[in-house]
A and B are shown apart, each in its own frame.
Chain A
Amino acid sequence: MNDRIADIHGELTPHARGTVWPARVDLHLEDGLAEDDVDRWVQSACLLCSNGCGCDIAVKDGRMVGVRGRATDVVNHGRLGPKGLYGSTAWSRSSDRLTRPLVREGGRLVESDWDTAMGRVVEVSRRLLADKGPLSHGFYTSGQLFLEEYYTQAVIGKAGIGTPHMDGNTRLCTATSAAAFKESFGADGQPGSYTDIEHCDAIFLFGHNMAETQTVLWTRILDRTRGEDPPRIVCVDPRRTLVAREAEATGGVHLAPRVGTNMALMNGLTRELFVHGWVDEAWVDEHTIGVDDLRAVVEPYTPDHVADVCGLDADDLRRAARIFGESTAVLSTVLQGFYQSHQATAASVAVHNLHLLRGMIGRPGAGVLQMNGQPTAQNNRECGADGDFPGFRNWDNPRHVEELATAWNVDAMTIPHWAPPTHAMQIFRYVETGAIELLWISATNPAVSMPQSARIREVLSADTCFVVVQDLFLTETAELADVVLPAAGWGEKTGCFTNVNRTVHLSEKAVEPPGEARSDLDIFVAYADAMGFTDKDGNPLISWRTPQEAFDAWRAVTAGRPVDYTGLSYDTLRGPTGIPWPVNDEHPEGTDRLYADGVFPTDTDYCETYGHDLLTGGAVTESEHRALAPAGRAFLKAAPYTPPHEEPSEDYPLRYTTGRTAYQFHTRTKTGRSRSLDAAAPDAWVELSVPDAARLGIDEGDRVRVESPRGAIEVRARVGQVMEGAVFAPFHYGHYDPSGGTPDADHRLANELTMTVWDPVSKQPYFKTAACRVVKVRDGDGPAPAPTTTASAPATTQGRRSVPATSGGAPTSSRVLDETPDYPLDPSRDPGTPTATRRP
C-alpha cells in the first residue's frame, strides 16, 4: 500500500529510448474499500490539472468513493498522481456543498429556490440589455468546465447577448500558451505529443516545475531518465526544483535566471544557435519567415551580457545552448515561470524559435509542449468562452465571423467582432468603472486567484454591479455575489474535455448532484430559455438540451478548422482511450502530433490571428499580413529584453514570485477537502534563500511579514531552495480553512502583493514580478507548513529546527502490468520509427 503523499511519483518503470512507456495502474479507494466492494466504475479523466489522466470513477451506494487509472489510456498508461488519487472524489460529499440557490437579501445571502434566483438574474439581464445594451454584460468563466458548457456559454454570449466581454481564469493560467502558438504558427494547437518523451534525447523545461504541476507526466520523464539511453534535462527555474535536480543528475543544466529576465536568457540561447551554426538553413528558408530580423535582434545578447542581466554563469548558458544545438531530438515544455512572468508571450515564442531554427518540430521526439494550468483550459480556448472565437476562428476576419453567423443562424452584426475580445483584467476594470453592470462568474474564485486581490474584492463588492456566481461551494468569491447558483461537479454530470496535448476525453456522470445543484450546462440553457434568445427564424438559439447534443453542435462548427472534431462522437470516446484532435476523414484515429509536413496554419484566410507586436501588443492588419504572404510558413518573431515593471528598490529589496505546490490545486476548492492532500500542505508559507534568511535573522518556521507596495501577508518562513534575492509564495491559500482554526487564514493570500499588470499580447497577468520586503514578526514554534518532498524542501544547511518529512497519505495501490497495452498512434509501437533525426 503506497503512501503517495510521501512518494509523489510512485514506483518507476524505466525503459529504453524509443520503446513504449509501460503501464502501471494506480488506485485509491476511500474508507478502506477494496476493488471488489465497488458497485460500478464510470469512465472519466482526472480534472485536477491539465494532464488529463484517463481514469474510472468508483461508485459505491450512489457515491463517488475513489478513482483508478485507465491502463489503456494514451495519456497516463494507468497512472495517477497524488492530486488525482486523493483529490478527485473527497470534495463531492463535503457537508458544505452548495445545495440550494442563494440570493442576497438585506445584505445577506439567504437560501432560495431556482425560480427566484434565476428570475432575479433574468430580470437584471433584461433590464440592462434594454437600457444599456450588450456591453453591460460580462462573463468570467473557468478552466474547469466541460467543452459542451463553454460552447453553450460562448453561443449565448456572442450570439444571444452579443458582448465581447467574455473571458475565463484561463487568462491567468494558459492565455500565453494560446497567444504564443498564434503568433508563431498562426493558430492555437499543441504541436507536440506526450509520446515525444519516448523519443527525445534532450528535454528543456522552461519555467515549468512539472514534477509538481503535472506529476504523472514527470513520472513519464523519470522513466526515461532512469532508463537506457536517457535524455538530458535542462531546467530554467529560479528555484532548485526536483526538475533542477534531475537536470544536474542527467548531465544537463539548471539555469536560474533572475525573475523577470527570461527574455534576455532566450535571446542568449537563440544567439548561440546562430553563432555556432546550429541552424537548419534549408528548413528555415522553406518553412519560416523572419530569420534575418530574429538574428539582428538577438545579436547583442552575448553569453556574458546575458549572464550579467540574468545573474547566471555564462558557461552554463553556453552548455545549455550546446545541448539544444547538438541533440538530435529536443522536446521543450513551457509553463507559468514564463507565462506569468515578464515578456510572457515573447519569451514563449522564443521557445518556438529555437525549435524552428533547428527544424525540430513535427516528428517523434522533436516537439513543443506549451502547457496549460487547468484541466479544461484548452476547451475554453477552442470553444470561445474566453474571448477567442469558436473553432480557432479569427475575430478580425469577416469570413470567419460569417461562418459562425451561418451556423447559429444569426445576423453577423450580433456577433461582437468590431473590437478585440475583452480580456479578464479589462473586464474587471470595466466592472470597477461601472461600465459592466452584470458579471457572471462560473466555477472560479477570482477573489483569491487574481492579482492585487484587495482591489478585486472591492470591485466585486461594489453595488454598481450585479454579480452571479455558480460554483460547488460558497467560495471567497461567492460570498460577495448577489446570486449564488449551486453547480454539479465532475462525476455529477457528463461532458468532454481536452488535455494539454489535444487528447479529448469523455467524462460520464457517475452520481446525482447533491440537493438542487444543476450542471453548468443546464444552468446556461435555463438562462437562455428564460431570456428567450432566438435565431433569425425565431427558433431557440440554444437548440440543444443534453451534453451529447451540445457536443454534436460543437463538432459541426469545427469542420475545416485546425481543431477538427468532426470524426469524434460520444461513442468513439467511450473506447479504451482518449483521442487527440484533429479527428476527421483524413485522420480517423486522431493525430499524435501536428505540423509533420512543416505546413503551419498561417495562411491569411485561414489563420486565427494576423499577429501582434510582441512588445506593445499592437495588432497586425489583414493587409499587412497578406503582404507577408506567409502561406503556411511559421513566423520567427523577435523581441529585445526590457526590464520588469517593478524592480527591487531600497524599500522593497527582494523579488516576489508566486506559484504552486504538488498537493494543492488552484484555490484548494477540491484539494483542500481531501484529508491526505490538505495535511500535506495545510497552510501558506514563504520560501527564502539561506543567505537572505541569515541576513534577515529568520530561521525555519519563524513568522514573517512579506510586504509589497500593494499589500502584505503574515505566514511562516521556509528557509529553502529559492535563489538569493527571491521570495516564493504559494498562491492557493485564501481564507477558506478546511481544518479550522488556522491562525494564518486571514493574512496569507499571496495575491495581496502582486501587481495589476499584464502581458501586452496574451494579456496574462504577471504574477511573478513584484518587489517585496520581508521582516521577522516573531519566533516560530515549529517548522513551516511547507512540504519537504517538493521544491519547497528545506535547505540542506538547516537552521535550529529540523523538519519532519512530508508523509501520511491514505493507502493506495499501484500495479505495473506485465503486458503493456497497445496504444493507438504511439510511434514506439512500430520499432521502425526512427528516433534519431532525419537531419544529422
Chain B
Amino acid sequence: MPHLSTYVGLADHSEKTLAESLRAVADGHAAEVDVFHTCHLLAGWSDEHRHLLAPVVARYGEDDVEEPERLHADGLAEVRSGPVGLLRDLQDLHVLATLVQTTWTVVAQGAQGLRDHELLQVATTSNAETTRQLTWLNTRMKAAAPQALIVDP
C-alpha cells in the first residue's frame, strides 16, 4: 500500500501547512479580533488531527515519494494587508483546507478498503472538523466581501 502511505503523509503534511497558515493569518490580521481568535482555534483542530494521526503514521511510515510533492500546496508564509488582503488570505486558507478535506476523503476510502478502523476513525472525525473549518472560512469571506470589494479605498 505505498499509495495509501503517501496519502497518510499528505494528510499529515497538509494539516501542518493549514495550521501554520491559519496562525499566520491570525497574527497578521490580529486587528480583526474574530479572525485572530477563530484562526487560532481552528489551527488547534488541525494540530489535534495530526496528533490523532501520529500512531498511524508510525505504522505506515510517512512515504514522501516524489509524486505527492506536486500535491503539496505552499502555505501562507506572509499575509497580505487590508480588507482585500484579508479576503484573499481567507480564500487561500479555503484552498488549503479543501486540499486537506479531499485528502481525508481518499484516506478514509483506503482505510475502509483495508479495514483499518483506527485510520478510518481519524479520517472521519478529522474530515468532519475540516468541514467546519471550511464553513467558517466561507462565512467570514461572505461577511468581509462586500465592504472589501466595494468600499475599501
Residues of A within 8 A of B (CB): 132-133, 135-136, 164, 418-420, 422, 425-426, 429-430, 433-435, 613, 615-620, 642, 645, 756-758, 760
Contacts and interface: CB of A to CB of B under 8 A. Distances in A.
A613 B136 contact: yes
Contacts of B38: 616-617, 760
A435 B136 contact: no
B75 interface: no
Interface string B123-153: 0000000001101111100110111001111
Interface string B66-103: 00000000000000000100000000000000000000
B118 interface: no
Contact of B147 (A425, A435, A617): A435
A420 B138 contact: no
B151 A135 contact: yes
Interface in B16-55: 31-34, 37-38, 41-42
A622 to B, nearest CB: 13
Contacts of A618: 132, 135-139
B146 A420 contact: no
B21 to A, nearest CB: 17
A429 B139 contact: no
Given A419-B146, A616-B135, A618-B139, 14 more contacts: A133-B150, A133-B151, A136-B151, A429-B32, A435-B152, A613-B132, A616-B41, A616-B42, A616-B132, A619-B139, A645-B37, A756-B33, A757-B33, A757-B37
A422 B145 CA distance: 12
- Name the residue in A419, A434, A617, A618 with the highest tally of chain B Cβ atoms < 10 Å from its Cβ: A618
Given A435-B83, A615-B41, A616-B136, A419 B143 contact: yes
A132 B151 contact: yes
Contacts of B32: 429
Nearest to A135: B151
Interface of B: 31-34, 37-38, 41-42, 83, 132-133, 135-139, 142-143, 145-147, 150-153
14 contacts: A132-B151, A419-B146, A420-B143, A422-B143, A435-B151, A435-B152, A613-B132, A613-B136, A616-B139, A617-B139, A620-B135, A642-B41, A645-B37, A760-B38
Contacts of A620: 135
A428 to B, nearest CB: 11
A425 B41 CA distance: 20
A164 B41 contact: no
Given A133-B150, A430-B147, A435-B83, A760 B142 contact: no
Contacts of B41: 615-616, 642
Provide the main secondary structure of the chain A interface.
Answer: loop
A619 B136 CA distance: 7
B145 A419 contact: yes
B37 A164 contact: no
B132 A135 contact: no
Nearest to A642: B41
A756 B139 CA distance: 20
A420 B38 CA distance: 18
- Name the residue in B34, B41, B142, B146 with the highest tally of chain A Cβ atoms < 10 Å from its Cβ: B34
Contacts of B136: 613, 616-618
Nearest to A612: B139
A645 B132 CA distance: 20
A132 B139 CA distance: 24
Contacts of A420: 139, 142-143
Contact of B146 (A132, A418, A429, A616): A418
Contacts of B137: 618
A426 to B, nearest CB: 8
A838 B41 CA distance: 44
A413 to B, nearest CB: 13
A305 to B, nearest CB: 19
A376 to B, nearest CB: 27
Contacts of B138: 618-619
Nearest to A755: B33
Contacts of A135: 146-147, 150-151
Contacts of B34: 617, 758, 760
Contacts of B133: 616
A757 B137 CA distance: 18
A613 B135 contact: yes
Nearest to B144: A419
Contacts of B151: 132-133, 135-136, 435
A94 to B, nearest CB: 38
A777 B127 CA distance: 55
B97 to A, nearest CB: 12
A425 B146 CA distance: 17
By Cβ-Cβ distance, the 3 closest A-B pairs, closest first, are A618-B135, A618-B136, A616-B136
A758 B41 CA distance: 14
Contacts of B146: 135, 164, 418-419
A658 to B, nearest CB: 18
Contacts of A760: 34, 38
Contacts of B147: 135, 430, 435
A618 B33 CA distance: 16
Contacts of A757: 33, 37
Contacts of B31: 429
Contacts of A756: 33
A267 B93 CA distance: 32
A420 B144 CA distance: 9
Nearest to A164: B146
